[in-house]
Structure 1
Amino acid sequence: MATTLEAIRFRRGAAGERASLQLLEQRKLPLETEWLEIEGPQAAWTAIRDMTVRGAPAIAIAAALSVAVDLLNQGAGSQFADTAAAAAHITQQLDYLVTSRPTAVNLSIAAAALSQLAASKAAQPGASAAGVTGAVADACEAMLRDDVAANRVMGAHGAAALLAAAQARGRAASGRLRVLTHCNTGSLATAAYGTALGVIRALHERGALEHAYCCETRPYNQGARLTAYELVHDGLPATLICDSAAAALMAEGRVDAVVVGADRIAANGDTANKIGTFSHAVSAHHHDIPFFVAAPTTTIDPTLDHGGLIPIEQRAAEEVTHFKGQRVAAEIDVWNPSFDVTPAKLIEGIVTERGLVPRAGAAGSAFAIRDWLEAGGNGGANGSAAAAKKLPTSHPGFEALDCDSVKSYVAARPALAKHVGPPDGRDSWTVEEVGDGNINFVYILEGPAGALCVKQALPFVRVVGESWPLTQDRVRIEAEALAAEATHCPQHVPALYSYDARMCVIAMQYLALPHIIVRKGLIEGRIYPLLAPHLAAFLAGTLFHTSLLALPSDEFRSNIARFTNVDMCRLTEQVIFTDPYHPAQHNWHTTPQLDGDVAALRADVAARVAASQLKAKFTQQHQALLHGDLHTGSIMATGSTTYVIDPEFAYYGPMAFDVAKILANLLLAFFSVDGHASAADPRSEQRRWLLACVRELWGGFAARFTQLWDEHGHKGDVCAAELFHGSSREGTAARQEAQGQFLAELWRDAVGFMGAVMVRRIVGIAHVADMESIADDNVRAVCERRALCFGRKLLVQGSGVASAEQLTEEAEAERADGQQPCFPL
């Protein structure tokens, strides 16, 4: 049984078969779900008009895909005399679909963008009708992927905004919110995850949701039939209430924030949404409860000055007077608007996939939507075409996988299928999309023969979406890095089974339980006695053997070119060495507790200079093949085994960066321990072990690196064998002196890089779960302040930290004195 609009499937049949669009039938209770096949715009128009398909994003996607289905069913362009006829037909169909629901602007924006695309393709020299229809069909399918990515990042923005606004009013002191929502804005109204319901899901994922209240949403009951089902399906703590009970619930102090979706947002921020939304906004304003709107930028209509210009759809009287086809009301006139308009002055914030829309002035003023769009918001009616021009391009022949198609992908490749099970039994395989941090999509397939890990790189940052393009060549680099690491340290690298350049896919060994991500284990309080020696061996082996200490210069230079990873390095340079020191768009921090610390950091000249100097080293120094993102989330381990995974950031850079990354993350875990400790479990042993792990890792690395240099250094060009090797006393003395100076410089650089990494994990785009899983904001802020202070000290004064022993001593001292502001303005 399919339960969400993730189940939209756009099937291109083989020759002679018809393509069909399958959409979830939403008129019945979800537990009675049926599939509805839509084979063209006329069927889509009816489904949208009858609210079989509803929710502004889903309406636009369904309509667009129905056009694509129609084009393919009619011969993929062969039915048209020329390109002009193809473009005219597409525009005609889209104009017809727009008439189905006038209020939701997503559909009209999508139609305008697709019509413009068809006209543009038709006007190109040498264009064909098939080329026009193919381009439009591809763009329709891309809308589905875009919506999922946008909803994910919107959820993250919204969760942070709701928490900050509620706590600023003295609510949610525990760090957990009670949130009310209206109508349905989840996976049944979008491609997946949802807008307002996506914010609630994001709160739950970060442990910040105490309770969700969904209103029934009369007269069509989308809240009772759909939102309630989604909340129960996901296991979220939730209660269904009558629309008219919301004000009473607020009066009892049981609501900390309200978040709703939108069907159209005017240029001043006035927002049209399901009828009843305005009432909730008035009640929230009366009770001083922050009221948020969560919607993609495609819902913004900057052509309308204010909400009074938004067309409000009038629904059939029978929705109010009848129940299951039987009249339950007297013969009476009915006023049944489907939407109402909430004035901008009642809205705390408008959350989009590109962050919060700013206001034109003080609180309560209109939102500066037009200026925001012109400055880079890239949304709304006049922004969609511009945004479309900026969409990243994929490899030729590339197709994005999902939890269904990845089964077919593996089943068609016997070398991969053998790890899961017989291909003809793939329907019994289970698939889970687990992600890998913020960058790629990762699928775990399990079957009777075992399991397999499949990773695919889409042409953008997974957590942000297509607004942040990213090269897919990162998968090629990751595959080659895994192979190189396995050559030098096979016991700590998962086996690579295949690399598919066309599909940007790598398949590799699945590390089954009891292997878990080390960061997760640390949060649970685990100790890994072999982690330090294993990582020391991995770092020493991979860094030494790929450096000029072990390679001839021609091979070394060839490797630098082969592992040039410009986009991923640019991302690192931005999020570690630049963004934390100014109010970048994606930055966030625990507020208001760390507001002063963040302001001081942004005003800290010494920190800016130190970060820029490290950025220069990161960019200019090509010493060895780095993993590039070696943190506790990139390591899977048990008590006896350790595997390093996910080297998509691999490139030739300063060895100190890899060393610093893992040491910094161990220190972040150390500073987070107090937030997870309790009277019953003070975690003293884990705290001591983490500091010992830092010392042991550095000591083990330095010893093993020196040993490799002694044994294999004669093969490289940096220390010529004639001068540094052999049996002469002078050669041995020269090598030992070179080793000492090399490791001393590496340590100094590593200390600075550690500081930069720790700072970014407290105030940048991507934090660490070690801190984020601390539920109490005040407790978390104390732990974060200690880490931030220590990180700043290492960044600016790191040259004074002469050893790993001194490093851990000062970390312990910082923990004891972490209540003070990090540094004065």
Structure 2
Amino acid sequence: MVPLEGGAGEQLLAIRYRRGSLQLLDQRKLPYESIYSDIKDAVAGWAAISDMVVRGAPAIAIAAALALAVEVESLKPFSGAGLEAVAFLKNRLDYLVSSRPTAVNLAEAATNLLNICQAVADKGDDAEAVYQAYLEAAEKMLAADVASNKAIGAYGAEALLQAKPASGNGMRVLTHCNTGSLATSQYGTALGVIRALHAQGKLETAICTETRPYNQGSRLTAFELVHDKIPAILVADSAAASLQSLGRVDAVVVGADRIAANGDTANKIGTYSLALSAFHHGVPFYVASPLTTIDTATKSGKEIIIEERSPKELTHSHGGQGTQIAADGVGVWNPAFDVTPARLITGIITDQGVITKEGNSDVFDIPSFIARSKDERSPSLKTDSKSSGLQVSKEGDLHANFKPLNESLVASYVKSQPRLGAILGGTSADWSVKEVGDGNLNFVYILEGPKGSFVLKQALPYVRCVGDSWPMTLERAFFETTVLREHRRLAPNHVPEVYHFDHPMALTVMEYLAPPHIILRKGLIAGTVYPLLAQHMAEYMASTLFHTSLLALSTLQQRKEVARFCGNIEMCRLTEQVIFTEPYMEASNNRWTSPHLDADAQALREDAIIKLEIAGLKSKFCEKTQALLHGDLHTGSIMVTQESTKCIDPEFGFYGPMGFDVGAFLGNLMLAYVSQDGHATSENDREGYQLWLLKTMGDTWQLFSERFVALWDKNWGAGDSYKIEVYNTKELQSLVQKTYLSELFQDSLGYAAAKMIRRIVGIAHVEDLESIPDLEKKVACERRALNFAKQLLKERSKYSDIRQVCNALQGSQ
């Protein structure tokens, strides 16, 4: 026996393995003792599984495979024929499967391992090759389970949030038995969904049942939740229905030991009762399990053999380990599992996506889902990392099954998601798919069908406009979707709706902003007036920035969100690089219209005052967690019509200085203004349009500041920054607001200038200037924009009103 090392900060593992050594955490002794048992061979593995030292369908399969791996390692040096080795392994695997007959993962793992070894022997290889193949395959199961669990967590969190969006405090999710790190290799299935919600800041409380008679919930799940500092409450099994009746449960998610082809699910005894109660009370009920738990050879739950446990588990305390509590002579029925009919299950969350029912069916068509999943994972569709030089994912990573989709694969993907197919209507033959992404980073597809349409956007693991030499995190898709949802909650008229998010595939499906919606930048190049643009952008920025700041939130609320968005570090680092660093040094990514602007670029790099100003802005960008920003609010991230304005693409979202968003929008309007000289013709000198752009800049700031102050007045004291008990007079409150807005105005001008500069001499330019056909006019416009930006950056403190800035821009050369 080996005691558990470390404290609460240690990762909780049910299985410790290195070649030749396997230790299993004895879960019978939790939570009072944390002891690891050494497993030397298949016999010890059988006993550990049967006696519930280890439990949980995924963990059982891995423990059995690794127990035999330890025994195989002890046989060295290997000798004999390959077929003899296969016969030995089959005998041992059959023995291990008998330890827990209901758990399909164990039987399937044994079959797969044996098939791998048989294939080696069939080639004529000797025992050494067969045993080596077994060792490698068994060890791969451990890493694959981690990736599987994290994918289930991501898919599950998305499914639960779609079924019942989280309230202000998050979701209240009930689970049964133990399906976490103690039931798997790491992270968990149903408990992995809860962990994913907690990581996203979308969990209010995890509710765990005690799970009689063996008390896996009170002993193990509660232990894991407390260990990971996840807010949780424990309830008696018999109290769960009452809790649901009170409206205190938003969703139920459980694991599975075997799932039939129609979706009937065998799981820990008591699951059926929970499903009946959830169905009665209208609470979504999900099963979370890897595809390996599905037994398509079993047509329905009626064919599942239910294991019965020792009567002592009921007649004695502590799951049969303690003193007798029941009367002598009483009969006992103690099934380990029950079967929940598919009609009571909302969806089955797997490591390949969520299985839902077609139409009004009471059952699931799981074989079709599996067939589609296999098609999508076929070798011809996968990226060859060796040939491309691109490592798409790491073993054990959430994105292990990521693959970029082309137009044909997009249709296949949508077919695998019935909810998305229902939005489009018809069949895949009726759908049109068009790739429209013209940005620097992602694939963007428009899908249209007989009933509806949507946009499917997929992140790539590199900068699209550069190639795989510049790798990028796929996690940006998660942060983009999170910002979209939060900003839509705060400004519903100015953010598209998200329909679906696939975390492992880094893929978001959202509302299609159909024509006459157009990218604002293209409209500005065309000289189109948008009369509501200033009003709409002021509303969007004021609402999203105010409500995510400490003017509206407590420090506890905001710091929790700040911590979550610290995960978007790679996108923040990219911003630091391309906006605040590279334009002011010699960098291979920089480009400008050469040789015409060579001297201008050099002068910028040699300007000490500019560098000091940029350093201050960069410092605020990195250190000031003021509000949840869009992070890339240029005119290419806004869709418009005469009546509508929608902000898209917030993949750079993070908590930072408010002026970064406001300045990004104003700076891009300034670039649009300067570029008009290059688009002017003899028939249209664009002077009238330039006046409208100046007015839009002025109106945007004026309306934004008014709206922001109005929200502040309405919510004074709601946040922790300025408590009403301290700032208790109208005069003092007015002074605070004036000071706050003055600093925000200065920040906005500084970031506007920085955004302009990087679009002239940095890596990514703007179509406003790039599309000017006449080279001399283009250079003149670029130089004017660069000179004004430098002047604005250096002298912004002299401006106290947006009209002064507009006048300076109008008079710039």
Task: Give the shorter-chain TM-score range.
Answer: 0.5 to 0.7
- Structure 1 contact 671–815 (Cα < 8 Å) conserved: no
2:26 aligned residue: 25
Alignment of 1:34-433 (within 5 A): 34-75=35-76, 78=78, 80-125=79-124, 127-167=125-165, 172-174=166-168, 176-323=170-317, 324-330=321-327, 331-362=329-360, 365-377=362-374
- Structure 2 contact 356–418 (Cα < 8 Å) conserved: no
SS in structure 2 of the partner of residue 31 of structure 1: coil
- Structure 1 contact 56–104 (Cα < 8 Å) conserved: yes
Kindly state the Cα deviation for residue 208 of structure 1 after the two structures are TM-superposed: 1.0
CA root-mean-square deviation? 5.7
Inter-partner Cα distance in structure 2 for 1:769 and 1:810: 25
Does the C-alpha gap of structure 1 residues 233 and 139 become closer, same or farther in structure 2, counting only changes over 3 Å? same
Does the C-alpha gap of structure 1 residues 632 and 799 become closer, same or farther in structure 2, counting only changes over 3 Å? farther
Inter-partner Cα distance in structure 1 for 2:301 and 2:203: 32
Inter-partner Cα distance in structure 2 for 1:141 and 1:696: 41
Alignment of 1:441-480 (within 5 A): 459-460=394-395, 462-465=397-400, 467-468=401-402
Kindly state the Cα deviation for residue 266 of structure 1 after the two structures are TM-superposed: 0.4
Q: Deviations over 1:111-142 (max 9, x none)?
A: 000000000011225x2321211111111111
Alignment of 1:757-796 (within 5 A): 770=654
Kindly state the Cα deviation for residue 11 of structure 1 after the two structures are TM-superposed: 3.0
- Structure 1 contact 270–344 (Cα < 8 Å) conserved: yes
Does the C-alpha gap of structure 1 residues 587 and 359 become closer, same or farther in structure 2, counting only changes over 3 Å? closer
- Structure 1 contact 587–763 (Cα < 8 Å) conserved: no
Inter-partner Cα distance in structure 2 for 1:817 and 1:259: 46
- 1:677 equivalent to 2:549? Answer yes
Kindly state the Cα deviation for residue 87 of structure 1 after the two structures are TM-superposed: 1.2
Kindly state the Cα deviation for residue 75 of structure 1 after the two structures are TM-superposed: 1.1
Does the C-alpha gap of structure 1 residues 752 and 587 become closer, same or farther in structure 2, counting only changes over 3 Å? farther
Q: Which letter does structure 2 place at the counterpart of 1:87?
A: V
Kindly state the Cα deviation for residue 74 of structure 1 after the two structures are TM-superposed: 1.2
Inter-partner Cα distance in structure 2 for 1:186 and 1:676: 33
Q: Which letter does structure 1 place at the counterpart of 2:213?
A: P
**Structure label with greater radius of gyration:** 2
- Structure 1 contact 21–69 (Cα < 8 Å) conserved: yes
Inter-partner Cα distance in structure 2 for 1:581 and 1:136: 34
Q: Deviations over 1:277-314 (max 9, x none)?
A: 00000011111111111111110111111111111001
Q: Deviations over 1:316-369 (max 9, x none)?
A: 11111122343221211111100000000100111011110132332x521110
1:539 aligned residue: none
- Structure 2 contact 253–286 (Cα < 8 Å) conserved: yes
Kindly state the Cα deviation for residue 273 of structure 1 after the two structures are TM-superposed: 0.3
- Structure 1 contact 20–38 (Cα < 8 Å) conserved: yes
Alignment of 1:520-559 (within 5 A): none
SS in structure 2 of the partner of residue 351 of structure 1: strand
Does the C-alpha gap of structure 1 residues 375 and 630 become closer, same or farther in structure 2, counting only changes over 3 Å? closer
Inter-partner Cα distance in structure 2 for 1:251 and 1:605: 45
Inter-partner Cα distance in structure 2 for 1:624 and 1:65: 37
- Structure 1 contact 579–587 (Cα < 8 Å) conserved: no
Alignment of 1:572-583 (within 5 A): 583=414
Inter-partner Cα distance in structure 1 for 2:355 and 2:142: 24
Q: Deviations over 1:421-461 (max 9, x none)?
A: xxxxxxxxxxxxxxxxxx99xxxxxxxxxxxxxxxx96458
Inter-partner Cα distance in structure 1 for 2:56 and 2:550: 45
Inter-partner Cα distance in structure 1 for 2:402 and 2:293: 20
Kindly state the Cα deviation for residue 679 of structure 1 after the two structures are TM-superposed: 3.5
Q: Which letter does structure 2 place at the counterpart of 1:337?
A: P
Alignment of 1:722-761 (within 5 A): none
Does the C-alpha gap of structure 1 residues 27 and 288 become closer, same or farther in structure 2, counting only changes over 3 Å? same
Q: Which letter does structure 1 place at the counterpart of 2:291?
A: T
- 1:9 equivalent to 2:7? Answer no
- Structure 2 contact 94–110 (Cα < 8 Å) conserved: yes
Kindly state the Cα deviation for residue 388 of structure 1 after the two structures are TM-superposed: 11
Q: Which letter does structure 1 place at the counterpart of 2:398?
A: V
Inter-partner Cα distance in structure 2 for 1:623 and 1:738: 26
Inter-partner Cα distance in structure 2 for 1:218 and 1:66: 29
2:755 aligned residue: none
Q: Which letter does structure 2 place at the counterpart of 1:608?
A: V
Inter-partner Cα distance in structure 2 for 1:376 and 1:671: 42
Does the C-alpha gap of structure 1 residues 801 and 624 become closer, same or farther in structure 2, counting only changes over 3 Å? farther
Q: Deviations over 1:565-591 (max 9, x none)?
A: xxxxxx5x879x9979995979999xx
2:511 aligned residue: none
- Structure 1 contact 23–37 (Cα < 8 Å) conserved: yes
Inter-partner Cα distance in structure 1 for 2:474 and 2:107: 45
Q: Which letter does structure 2 place at the counterpart of 1:217?
A: T
Inter-partner Cα distance in structure 2 for 1:61 and 1:69: 12
SS in structure 2 of the partner of residue 468 of structure 1: coil
- Structure 2 contact 41–68 (Cα < 8 Å) conserved: yes
1:525 aligned residue: none
Inter-partner Cα distance in structure 2 for 1:800 and 1:631: 38
Kindly state the Cα deviation for residue 50 of structure 1 after the two structures are TM-superposed: 1.0
**Could you list the runs of 5+ residues in structure 2 that have no partner in the other structure?**
425-429, 445-459, 479-539, 556-561, 563-572, 604-631, 640-645, 680-692, 708-813
Inter-partner Cα distance in structure 1 for 2:442 and 2:229: 45
SS in structure 2 of the partner of residue 37 of structure 1: strand
Does the C-alpha gap of structure 1 residues 736 and 676 become closer, same or farther in structure 2, counting only changes over 3 Å? same
Kindly state the Cα deviation for residue 174 of structure 1 after the two structures are TM-superposed: 2.5
SS in structure 1 of the partner of residue 148 of structure 2: helix
Inter-partner Cα distance in structure 1 for 2:263 and 2:476: 42
Does the C-alpha gap of structure 1 residues 802 and 768 become closer, same or farther in structure 2, counting only changes over 3 Å? farther
Q: Which letter does structure 2 place at the counterpart of 1:50?
A: D
Q: Which letter does structure 1 place at the counterpart of 2:242?
A: A
Inter-partner Cα distance in structure 1 for 2:412 and 2:463: 18
Inter-partner Cα distance in structure 1 for 2:208 and 2:194: 11
SS in structure 1 of the partner of residue 348 of structure 2: strand
- Structure 1 contact 292–349 (Cα < 8 Å) conserved: yes
- Structure 1 contact 358–372 (Cα < 8 Å) conserved: no
Q: Which letter does structure 2 place at the counterpart of 1:221?
A: N
Q: Which letter does structure 1 place at the counterpart of 2:195?
A: R
Kindly state the Cα deviation for residue 25 of structure 1 after the two structures are TM-superposed: 0.7
Does the C-alpha gap of structure 1 residues 183 and 115 become closer, same or farther in structure 2, counting only changes over 3 Å? same
TM-score (structure 2 length as normaliser): 0.56
Q: Which letter does structure 2 place at the counterpart of 1:673?
A: L
- Percent of matched pairs sharing the same residue: 40
Kindly state the Cα deviation for residue 677 of structure 1 after the two structures are TM-superposed: 2.3
SS in structure 1 of the partner of residue 330 of structure 2: coil
Q: Which letter does structure 2 place at the counterpart of 1:116?
A: N
Inter-partner Cα distance in structure 2 for 1:239 and 1:801: 65
Kindly state the Cα deviation for residue 157 of structure 1 after the two structures are TM-superposed: 1.1
Q: Deviations over 1:120-171 (max 9, x none)?
A: 011225x23212111111111111111111111211111121122124xxxx
